[in-house]
Amino acid sequence: MTPPRRRLAALALALSLGGATMACAQRPGGGEAVVRSEAASFRATSFAAGLEHPWGAAFLPDGRMLVTERPGRIRLVTRDGSVSPPLAGVPAVAAGGQGGLLDIQLAPDFASSRELYFCQAAAVRGGNLTRLVRARLAADARSLDMVQPLLDATPAQTGNGHYGCRIAFGPDSKLYLTTGDRQRQSERAQDVSDLAGKLLRLERDGRPAEGNPPIPGNNARPEIFALGLRSPQGLAVNPATSTLWEVEMGPRGGDEVNLVRPGANFGWPVVGHGRAYSGAQIHEADSRPDMQDPLRAWVPSISPSGAAFYTGEAFPGWKNNLFLGALSGAGLLRLTTEGDRIIGEERLLWGRTRIRHVLAGPDGFLYLLTDESRGRILRLEPAEG
């Protein structure tokens, strides 16, 4: 049986108060500090710079990286950290607040198709919405072509908050896309005729995926795989179990990591641990039998963002751990897992800089996108000794 939400939140709070044992030693003659954590020693080096609010990234088969910038650009970052001019062919985005050009993922057969997917805030009649787009990377990697909008998370509304916009391909090769509740009308997350506040499961052409669960309710949209999401910022496949994990921000408290199951209702705004920014109560309860409890919740908030499981060889002690960027926590969170359970937590680089996204590189290192106007990509490298 899943533990009640109150017990999960209390455990998370106790862990946060306990913190992580971490010591930094400056290298003789200067240089990057060595961080000695529970399971590895590493250095956080500056790999690339000159990016404006980088949001999403994907590694190409040759080790180069495509990186999105929230104002509406995609850049190519080489293996030595050089940053290209913006790629041509990127469509206009609704850049403002939390909106803009957001996540990017390569198709599973990218090596042959050069197909990629990205998510953006788009301006349409009636306001803004979350849009999924498919395109092809040109052979010279300087532009996009065959750009095709696939799905709009309708209806549109005014405002620039809670777009969601994380993309992942599951073990079933289907495309999973998160959408936020758009902030101003949180009840949209429970409306099954509305695509806001949902996890969508799609075919690669944007159609509802075959085998999606039946969702109870009037006029339920066939794209919906799970519902009751607020501001979903992370989406990653657990390599040990092939399950999908979703990460989202609460308001004041109530950040969550959720195990995705077909047809799951994660409860927002009916149940949860957070309060409104004013301090007012939001939820009717912490938990409800017909709604799924999170694997972990945090009170107070750490504002988790992009997420990645680590499967490389450079840090053996981190194998299959889940790493989350933290915005209000301004650091990196490491969660140790056992199957589909979270059994430990460690805070790394805490209080240093807002981390928007985490990627496990093909070289076995971890790459962190910083949420800054002068954004950087940090690389975590093993420190000998």
CB atoms inside a 10 Å sphere around CB 148: 12
3-class secondary structure, 189: helix
Which secondary-structure segment (H or E) carries 74? strand 73-77
Burial class (CB in 10 A: 0-12, 13-18, 19+), 137: buried
Q: Of 49, 52, 65, 64, which Cα lies nearest the Cα of 93?
A: 52
What letters, b where the CB count within 10 A reaches 16 and e where it falls short, cover 163-199?
bbbbbbbbeeebbbbbbbbbbeebebbbbbebbbbbb
Please say if 273 is a catalytic residue: no
Question: What are the helix (H) ranges across the chain?
Answer: 5-18, 110-113
CA dist., res. 272 & res. 253, Å (int):
9
Catalytic residue among 162, 273, 283, 357: 162
All residues at 6 or more sequence positions from 384 whose CB lies less than 8 Å from its CB, including other chains = 41
Handedness of CA 314, 317, 319, 321 (dihedral sign): negative
C-beta of residue 208 within 8 angstroms of C-beta of residue 202:
yes
CA dist., res. 279 & res. 275, Å (int):
6
Return the half-sphere exposure (C-beta side, CA atoms, 13 A cut-off) of residue 260.
Answer: 29
Gyration radius of the chain over CA positions: 20
CB atoms inside a 10 Å sphere around CB 208: 16
CA dist., res. 298 & res. 253, Å (int):
6
Q: Which residues are catalytic?
A: 162
